[in-house]
Chains A and B, each alone.
Chain A
Amino acid sequence: MTTPFVKGDYDPRSKLVLVLGLSSLAVVFDYPRILLPLALATVLCALYLRSGVLGSLVRMRRLLWVFLAMGIIQSVFTRGGQPLVELAGVALVTTTGLERGVSIILRIFIILVSAGIMTTSNPRDIIQGLYQWRIPYELAFMVAVAVRFLPLMREEAEDTLTALQLRGVRLEELPLRTRIRTYGYLLTPLIAGVLARARQMSLSVEMRGFRAYPRRTSHRTLVLDGRDYLLMIIALLLVSGAFVAHFRPGPL
């Protein structure tokens, strides 16, 4: 019997239940009045679990424009509700559009911050925890790899944005439409990088005998303690409470 690598840390499975709960709510619900308190709850959870959420947000500050751009696109192209901004009688921004734009920003924020919680666990522990939950090792490995590469992807995105600006492109002075289009260029190197890395890694793990045997044994085992169960119960109560509050008959 062993405990997680970081003494006093929660079991990665309890964190996973929390993260799945938070991100599922962010995907299912589409209203700022639900997403806003959910975002606050996510930040509080991240702070409690010491995921360095504020540091991550500071490091991502230059990418926040991308999320803002997505929100603006949603605001402008979603019709419905009362017009808020009009040009020559044509509604540019409506109440529904604005609500959708704010929702998309909050959704991305919740998913990123909650995903950051998983980076506080050792990737080896994540695999072990999932495997003990009877998740096939291949899938558990994929989850752990995704967590492992999140910080690297952030670093790549920042480098790419820096490289584009260092070609003398003054993003801050570009018209909004051009700026939004320019952020699209960042996706090319990011996707290419992910694909190249996935190709290299698949070759590397196969060469080390990955999937060589149908069953795996492990010297390490994780044990859920009282705190872990408590965290999972709170997460499940949060999710079910949000669903009940939203889908019960009558106004919210």
Chain B
Amino acid sequence: MIRALGASYRYPGEGQVVAPVDLAIHASDVTALFGPNGSGKTTLGKLLAGILKPTSGRVEILGEDTRTLSLGRIGQRLGYLFQEPDRQIFTARVDEELALAQRLRGVPEDDVLGRVEEMLDRFRLEHLREAFPFDLSRGEKQRLALAAIMINRPPFLVLDEPTTALDVVRKAELSALLSQATEGGVGMLIISHDRSFVARHATRILELSRGEIVDDYSVR
């Protein structure tokens, strides 16, 4: 699914954040990028997802160099859930939010409405369909953001710190939704420092420290 070939990254005017890395992420795995704050997890995640372009080496998604892929084309190959749900909500109603990308992508309206109903039901957002998304709780916003990505039926998901600010109940709800997705054949890259969450979902763990992968092992 994703291959890094000697890929490294440094922010302009700063030192190297991610040391050169050779790595293959498979669509059949649930891979976790695990490490403490500041270890470069999010930067490596964005590098692998093609949001950041490597300063040296290359990253390929489904065989294509991310330098040649626009963000829109990357979005057709994988879904990316940002840490902050508020930055990925665009409309004034929950159901419009779910339909937005589908409509912009030119999906026929009947199909859009059908998929919106499916997502409202699957992510338990039916009772909130007319709600103003910014009034939702953190957990509800998280579900909405995830549903708005899943409606595009991506074969692979990148989740950046998905459990941030979620309580035990909301975390369990999110876990159930992710398990449902993996059972449906969706591969994942989970960026997290939440050991229990990673242990529950990951089939492979990459441990990071100071921008370097210090351990890489399978857990099932």
Contacts and interface: CB of A to CB of B under 8 A. Distances in A.
Contacts of B182: none
Interface string B45-89: 000010100000000000000000011111110011010101111
Contacts of A167: 75, 79, 100-101, 148-149, 152
Contacts of B49: 166
Contacts of A174: 104
Contacts of B100: 167, 185
A200 interface: no
A242 B67 CA distance: 46
A163 B91 contact: no
Interface residues of B, number: 30
23 contacts: A156-B87, A159-B87, A162-B51, A163-B88, A164-B101, A165-B70, A166-B74, A166-B75, A166-B79, A167-B100, A167-B101, A168-B72, A168-B152, A169-B101, A170-B72, A172-B70, A185-B90, A185-B100, A188-B90, A189-B86, A189-B87, A189-B89, A189-B90
Question: What range describes how many residues of A lie at the interface?
Answer: 20 to 34
A152 B106 CA distance: 33
Given A162-B51, A163-B82, A188-B92, A169 B104 contact: yes
A179 to B, nearest CB: 9
Nearest to A178: B104
A182 B72 CA distance: 13
Interface string A187-205: 0110011001000000000
Given A185-B100, A188-B92, A192-B134, A172 B72 contact: yes
Contacts of B104: 169, 174, 178, 182
Given A163-B88, A189-B87, A170 B51 contact: no
